[in-house]
Chain A
């Protein structure tokens, strides 16, 4: 009896090919030219209709029958497919190097990539290769992979000045942005115009909007996983560009050919060189207001070691800063902010089937504002430091089960609203601020289960938790996703994910600022939570036209807003300014993607709704006048992106991006009143009376960007001249609106004149007009 149950179990557990012996073929798939491992490369065995893909570290494992000569095909977008004949008599390692497709500047036919998407049980995920990102023209000629991925549906395309990412109705703090597994708290330069990711240094960027795999946790609405290049371990090479406002250079090469490599990548803007000159030229002239100086820079470094067949060691770091300064005789203002991250990673192959990744990361985000008036100085700043240890296992048990499990723990240290002010002579000094420490942890287990050729599910459970002083909380997060292929061309997908978030970004308005504060969960402030259900349908037309539909519904719990008139400055009890409520978001996303022929690109459209409400202040006496549910300012109803890449000739290619979105919301006052004030106080004739939140929808936002690329084809490598024109038809999109009273002079009997407001006009401020730019890019 027991024996028959045992055999039954084995039968169910193993694939139908149990009659023969099975061995595991595993290894890595890399780029032949540089030695970079390839993420998501496909390994397929057409004769047996089985396959797999490489994981984030380029590793794959496939169970194959022994003895027979089997054709295994390795392929990856942009590379020539490679076929090998395998005769397995034991578990074997096969590391493969692929060669790039013959024509490098074209985006090569990506039939496999669409088929992989159909067969993957992952959904709500967008990827963009650096190659594609560089073809999309962006602000001032600088290509930006994080800004470019916002052109995919479900991710509202960034309106000017908006540095926050609002994915499927989630707030701008609900995005987990990781760079080589270290968290980046503020991925913005220049208030959101550029991201902190230098496209030249990026190997892969994957963005999840839903259906989050169990290995990710800590944020509610998206996961942006950025992996840096490892570095060319075969020969010294470089990439770079010289642009109108910024320049960049990336150098990579072997330390020991084939075994170890390094990569260094840097970028800096130089608008401040010009502004400093202008200021110096005009110094001393009356009425001249010096232009503030601004610049940013970032630096990515990485070294990579192959320690034998089973081990790889990697060390990488990122350092970036934005510096904004203003210098006058009496007044001096310096504002700087930035991130620093460090990662030490060890990959180990325990066996052909079991791969592990252990990482130690460090992350720091801080900002500092320093202000000097004659005799007084003033400093305010915030600082968040993380130390994170995590380990992940990838176990290719057999062709039916791929198991992943792991754990991580992060120690957070926050300094919030650290204020120090005083006079030079020391008679006055005061300081304020709060320090927090917190421990965040998670452990997960998931199984990618291939029930049949047509049906695959990914089931997982994550247990996450947070400890802060005397409060401890542990929460389960079930994760489930599945795909069903009724035919080779169709895929039906469904996913459910429960997420928890233990850190909250406390920002004063919808426009995320570098001075926004990260606040931990405490006894009174419970973690935010979300439940998201998504359904998807995909269809492949021909070989390279892909249609995708997705619908989602998300419930958000323990959402934070500020109470009316919140005091954020120098407040030692900041959580008393919070109100806790709920939210819900739902929507539909459509996209069509074409990757064949001279004209390639995609069209994405999103219809989305998001509401927040039922807010109750932590301190009952505090005021939160908004009742019921309201729309946050990022409740953008429609969002359309069209990206087109056209190859004109061997040397010329053109690209165009068109975005259209419903206007964001703004909170405007429907009424006004006069405030006489006391004796000595100034009479205010117009005091705005704000009522319902976010009661005004801005005009629609739309913009067309065009780019022209001319390939120079030098002998030593590649180089091109890129002409970009952003906002081609000079659309003045609204950045913000203010209401301005116009005054008339009125005289009374005694001859005294008063300014009496006569009428109020509404004025709109836009951020930029048509902006052309020329960039020279090179690669050797």
Chain B
């Protein structure tokens, strides 16, 4: 009986303490000037393509109807070109929807990106409003996954996945680890970036004992350059800071340059290794 009295008194106290401690308020944020957002990935074997959009003031309502979305969010009529190996490719302003990957691009050129780790690629953009944006990048060779190991726990029917890879010793390396169950279109099970600072030579990515027989697990490791690593982390930190009073907000660390910082975003090569395994 005493136990229940204690419990209910505590619960009452806690409920009282918890009630109404959160509420919606009206705030006025400082004026915000829209920026051009560049999302440009060079993937060996894929054509040149990128997404050019606009940022918005935080409280601006979202244009949820298709027509409005394109007008208000995407940047049209910009001159976009990529220089590589002495050639200049003018990307066309055409809205494309990649059905398989469910991604959209609004500038593209049929030139297929070669696996060239020696030469650099330069991006040059001039928007209708006169904003000039430039960036430069180089492809990185992917770091292969050595093995995927499925391990079952003794007392259970659930397994975990261990992904092993060898870290190239010569330079500082940065990675992004993605793990999907079923399909790449599903929400990732794991998505984080890391550097090789804390490891000697073998990198191991693990999971909890969560997967049953028949599950398809897709393990991807992206090899990032420092620009892409900083960009991904700043995007992640910016998202985390909202809602966490102890987190340090982060501005976006971009590798695109423009006058008066009118542009943010990333221009980078995509270098990844993907392996699939079915749990059995």
A contact residues around B14 at 8 Å (CB): 291
A379 to B247, CA, bound (A): 20
Given contacts A330-B208, A668-B29, A756-B62, is CB(A688)–CB(B245) below 8 Å? no
Does the CB pair B204–A427 fall under 8 Å?
Answer: yes
Of B81-89, B124-132, B140-148, B227-235, the segment with at least 4 beta carbons within 8 Å of chain A is B227-235
A651 interface contact, C-beta 8 A: no
The residue in chain B whose Cβ has the minimal distance to the Cβ of A513 is B246
Q: Does A541 contact B (CB under 8 A)?
A: no
Assess whether B199 is interfacial by the CB under 8 Å rule.
yes
When C-beta atoms are compared, the residue in chain A nearest to B266 turns out to be: A675
A673 is contacted by which of B55, B230, B233 (Cβ under 8 Å)? Answer: B55
A391 at the interface (CB under 8 A from B): no
For B225-255 the 0/1 string (1 means CB < 8 A from A) is 0000010011101110111111111111100
Q: Tell me the minimal C-beta distance from B54 to chain A in angstroms.
A: 8
- How would residues 35 to 56 of chain B score, 1 for a CB under 8 Å from any chain A CB and 0 otherwise? 1010101000000000101111
Instruction: Give the contact stretch, choosing among A27-35, A219-227, A703-711, A730-738.
Output: A730-738
- Output the nearest chain A residue to B248 by Cβ-Cβ distance: A508
CB nearest to B218 among chain A residues? A680
Contact of B10 among A278, A428, A623 (CB under 8 A): A278
Given known pairs A688-B239, A689-B238, A695-B30, the reply for A274 and B6 (CB within 8 Å) is yes
Pair A432/B197 contact, Cβ less than 8 Å: yes
Contact between A161 and B245, CB atoms less than 8 A apart: yes
- Identify B204's interface contact among A375, A428, A737, A761, CB under 8 A: A428
Q: Nearest Cβ distance between residue A204 and chain B, in whole angstroms?
A: 34
The answer for the CA separation of A459 and B270 in the assembled complex, in Å, is 66
Contact of A758 among B3, B59, B61, B248 (CB under 8 A): B61
Q: Are A678 and B187 in contact (CB under 8 A)?
A: no
Whether A8 is near chain B, meaning CB under 8 Å from some CB there, is: no
Q: Is the C-beta of B173 less than 8 angstroms from some C-beta in chain A?
A: no
Q: Which residues of A contact B10 (CB under 8 A)?
A: 274-275, 277-278
Q: In this assembly, does B1 line the interface, its C-beta being within 8 Å of a C-beta of chain A?
A: no
Query: In whole angstroms, what is the CA distance A573 to B222 when docked?
Result: 24
Contact A690 B56 (CB under 8 A): no
CB pair B7 A277 closer than 8 Å: yes
The residue from A508, A676, A744, A758 contacting B246, defined by CB atoms under 8 A apart: A508
Give complex CA distance A277, B1 in Å: 12
Cβ–Cβ contact A623 & B230, under 8 A: yes
Do A680 and B180 have beta carbons less than 8 Å apart? yes
Known: A570-B197, A670-B29, A687-B238. A763 touches B22 (CB 8 A): yes
Task: Give chain B residues whose Cβ lies under 8 Å from the Cβ of A430.
Answer: 198-200
Q: Which of B21, B39, B248 contacts A732 (CB 8 A)?
A: B21
Tell me whether B25 and A419 are in contact (CB under 8 A).
Answer: no
Q: Write out the residue numbers on chain A whose beta carbons fall within 8 Å of the beta carbon of B161.
A: none
- Is A565 located at the chain interface by the 8 A CB criterion? yes
Contacts of A732 in B (CB 8 A): 20-21, 23
B76 at interface by CB-CB < 8 Å = no
Please tell me which stretch of A301-309, A351-359, A766-774 contacts chain B, meaning at least 4 of its Cβ atoms lie within 8 angstroms of it.
A766-774
What interface size band does chain B fall in?
35 or more
Q: How many Å lie between the Cα of A565 and that of B252 in the bound state?
A: 8
Instruction: Please report the C-alpha to C-alpha distance between residue A625 and residue B37 in the assembled complex, in whole angstroms.
Output: 17
A684-B239 in contact given A281-B7, A732-B23 (Cβ < 8 Å) = yes
**Complexed CA–CA distance, A474 and B187 (Å):** 57
Residues of B within 8 A of A423 (CB): 206
Q: Is B170 interfacial (CB 8 A cutoff)?
A: no
Asked whether, in the complex, the Cβ of B21 is within 8 Å of the Cβ of A565, the reply is no
**Bound CA–CA A423/B164 (angstroms):** 14
B118 in the interface (beta carbon within 8 A): no
A735 to chain B, nearest CB (A): 7
Interface status of A80 (Cβ within 8 A of chain B): no
Residues on the B chain within 8 Å of A768, using CB: 17, 21
Whether the pair A673, B264 counts as a contact (CB closer than 8 A) is: yes
Question: Within 8 Å of chain A (Cβ to Cβ): is B209?
Answer: yes
A460 to B26, CA, bound (A): 53
Cβ distance A703 to chain B, nearest Cβ, rounded Å: 15
Q: Is A453 an interface residue (CB 8 A)?
A: no
- Least CB separation from A373: chain B residue: B208
- On whether the beta carbons of A766 and B27 are closer than 8 Å, the reply is no
A141 to chain B, nearest CB (A): 14
A7 contacts B by Cβ under 8 Å: no
**B259 CB–A CB distance under 8 Å:** no
Known contacts A687-B238, A690-B241, A769-B19; is-contact A671 B251 (Cβ 8 Å): no
Shortest beta-carbon distance, B11 to chain A, in Å? Answer: 7
* Contact (A679, B184) CB under 8 Å given A670-B31, A688-B238: yes
Do A671 and B249 contact each other (CB < 8 Å), given the known contacts A571-B197, A695-B30?
A: no
The answer to whether A680 touches B238 (Cβ under 8 A) is: no
CB of A744 to closest CB in B, whole Å? 7
Given A278-B7, A432-B198, A762-B27, A756 and B73 touching (CB < 8 A)? no
In the complex, which of the residues A275, A428, A671, A678 contacts B57, with contact meaning CB atoms closer than 8 Å?
A: A671
Bound Cα distance A766, B54 (Å) = 34
CB of B32, distance to nearest CB on chain A (Å)? 4
Q: What chain B residues lie within 8 Å of A771 (beta carbons)?
A: 17
Residues on A with C-beta less than 8 A from B247 are 508-509
- Say yes or no: is A765 at the interface (Cβ < 8 Å to chain B): yes
CA A735 to CA B26, docked complex, whole Å: 15
A566 at the interface (CB under 8 A from B): yes
Return the contact of B251 from the options A373, A374, A428, A623 (Cβ within 8 A). A623
Contact across chains for A691 and B198 when beta carbons are under 8 A apart: no
Interfacial chain A residues near B252, Cβ < 8 Å: 687, 689-690
Q: Is the CB of A674 within 8 A of B238?
A: no
Contact of B104 with A by CB under 8 A: yes
| Minimal Cβ-Cβ distance residue in A for B4 | A281
Q: How far, in Å, is A627 (CB) from chain B's closest CB?
A: 10
Q: Are B58 and A739 in contact (CB under 8 A)?
A: yes
- Complex CA distance for A744 and B270, rounded to whole angstroms: 32
A509–B248 CB distance below 8 A: yes
- CA gap between A428 and B21 in the complex, in Å: 43
Q: What is the CA–CA distance of A690 and B178 in the complex, to the nearest angstrom?
A: 26
Given A670-B32, A673-B264, A281–B197 Cβ distance below 8 Å?
Answer: no
User: With A681-B188, A769-B16 as given contacts, are A674 and B73 in contact (CB-CB < 8 Å)?
Assistant: yes
Among candidates A291, A678, A696, residue contacting B27 with C-beta atoms closer than 8 Å: A696
In the assembly, what is the distance between CA of A732 and CA of B23, in Å? 9
B186–chain A nearest beta-carbon distance, Å: 9
Q: What CA separation (Å) do A423 and B162 show in the bound complex? A: 12
Bound: A674/B74 CA distance, A:
11
A689→B29 CA distance, assembly (Å): 12
Contact B241 A759 (CB under 8 A): no
* Cα of A198 to Cα of B122 in the assembled complex, Å: 65
B238 contact from A428, A562, A669, A737, Cβ within 8 A: A669
Bits for A654-693, please: 1 = Cβ < 8 Å to B, else 0: 0000000000000111111111101111101101111110
A278 contacts B24, C-beta separation under 8 Å: no
- The distance in angstroms between the C-alpha atoms of A65 and B220, with both chains bound, is 91
Decide yes or no whether A109 CB sits under 8 A from chain B: no
A136 to chain B, nearest CB (A): 23
- In order of increasing CB-CB distance, the 7 nearest A-B pairs are A673-B55, A736-B245, A274-B10, A670-B32, A671-B32, A738-B243, A679-B101
* Extra pairs beyond A374-B153, A738-B244, A739-B58 (19, CB < 8 Å): A281-B4, A419-B198, A423-B206, A432-B197, A564-B253, A565-B230, A565-B251, A669-B58, A670-B29, A670-B57, A671-B58, A675-B39, A681-B188, A681-B191, A688-B58, A760-B59, A762-B25, A765-B21, A769-B16
B interface with A by C-beta (< 8 Å)? 3-4, 6-7, 9-11, 14, 16-17, 19-27, 29-32, 34-35, 37, 39, 41, 51, 53-59, 61-62, 64, 73, 101, 103-104, 153, 160, 178, 180, 184, 187-188, 191, 195, 197-200, 204, 206, 208-209, 218, 220, 222, 230, 233-235, 237-239, 241-253, 264, 270
19 A/B residue pairs, CB under 8 Å, sorted by A? A277-B3, A278-B11, A508-B247, A564-B251, A671-B34, A672-B58, A676-B103, A680-B180, A682-B187, A685-B62, A696-B29, A738-B243, A740-B243, A756-B62, A758-B64, A763-B22, A765-B245, A766-B22, A768-B17
